[in-house]
Amino acid sequence: MIDEDIKSVLIVEDELLIAGQLKIALLNHGYLCAGIAINYNSAKAILETTKVDLVLLDIKISGRKTGLDVALLLNTIYGIPFLFITSYNDANSLHKIKELSPKGYINKPINEITVLTTIDIILNAKRYETKKFVSIHIGATTYNINLSELIYIEAEHVYVRLCYKTKKSLVRTSLTNIVELLPNESILRISRGIAINPKFIESVTSTSIKVNREVFKLSKKYGKDVENFLNI
């Protein structure tokens, strides 16, 4: 019996050596491989019969249709997220990729750590889905925090600055206090002065985290907490 909590990844890649490498990496990392498809039709057949949580997708695959056609199918019929892994990086291809709204784009030759970390972030995204607004009480004041718009919180003397997509606001409290008041998985401390909203993470390295196009230093003190939080 398959554990429904284990995520399943479909590989759409006609270079079988690369596909096999990805499959082994997925299995060793604790994911299921839903299958390997070398063309549009085989990808569609797997999607029709198998549970798939994420698709790893090359642009150039066997047959007349390309990975871009598979991406369109995923968007319009199945609603399954996908990640492009391809050697195509010309302006025309990148424009087409952006129009299809993938969850990410990785250039070949592949780096297994980069691929697996990106997959972890994508598949853990549902953990970070929270109520849009959360009310917290600090002293006699109630603050309504819009978690769907909050990107990060920055310590500033005796205040914290809440940085949203379109505005910033100051609250008189400590970073430690506001992190404790917010729902556990809605905010992640990455340094003495910064806590981020995990839903906006774009990439992670051993020393930094990119969040909504901004790069923040990841301190050693919080590095292990971040790894555990993201299951990486």
Q: Which CATH number describes the domain made up of 8-123?
A: 3.40.50.2300
Thinking of the domain 128-230, which architecture would CATH place it in? Answer: Beta Barrel (2.40)
Looking at residue 128, its pLDDT comes to 55
How far is it, in rounded angstroms, from Cα 222 to Cα 113? 20
Looking at residue 232, its pLDDT comes to 57
DSSP 1-19: ---TTS-EEEEE-S-HHHH
Give mean pLDDT, residues 5-18: 93
Looking at residue 134, its pLDDT comes to 83
Q: At what angle do helices 112-123 and 16-28 cross, to 10 degrees?
A: 60
- Residue 126: pLDDT band (50, 70, 90) is low
Q: What is the pLDDT of residues 15-60, one digit of tens each?
A: 999 999 999 999 999 999 999 999 999 999 999 989 999 999 999 9
Q: What is the pLDDT of residues 177-225, one digit of tens each?
A: 999 999 877 899 999 999 999 989 988 888 999 998 899 999 999 988 8
Among 154, 134, 126, 130, residue whose Cα is nearest residue 211: 154
Looking at residue 88, its pLDDT comes to 83
Under DSSP, the state recorded for 43 is H
Q: What is the pLDDT of residues 131-175, one digit of tens each?
A: 567 888 898 888 888 888 899 999 999 999 999 988 999 999 999
Q: What is the pLDDT of residues 55-106, one digit of tens each?
A: 999 999 999 999 999 999 998 888 899 999 988 878 888 888 989 989 999 9
Q: Is the model's pLDDT at 4 over the cut of 90?
A: no
What are the residue ranges of CATH 3.40.50.2300 in the chain? 8-123
Q: Are 136 and 145 in contact (CB under 8 A)?
A: yes
Cβ atoms within 10 Å, residue 79: 7
What are the residue ranges of CATH 2.40.50.1020 in the chain? 128-230
Among 191, 193, 200, residue whose Cα is nearest residue 174: 193
Q: Are 161 and 145 in contact (CB under 8 A)?
A: no
- Residue 1: pLDDT band (50, 70, 90) is very low
Among 86, 47, 50, 46, residue whose Cα is nearest residue 67: 86
Q: At what angle do helices 112-123 and 220-230 cross, to 10 degrees?
A: 70
DSSP 71-91: HHHIIIII---EEEEES--SH
How far is it, in rounded angstroms, from Cα 166 to Cα 21? 42
First to last CA, the chain: 26
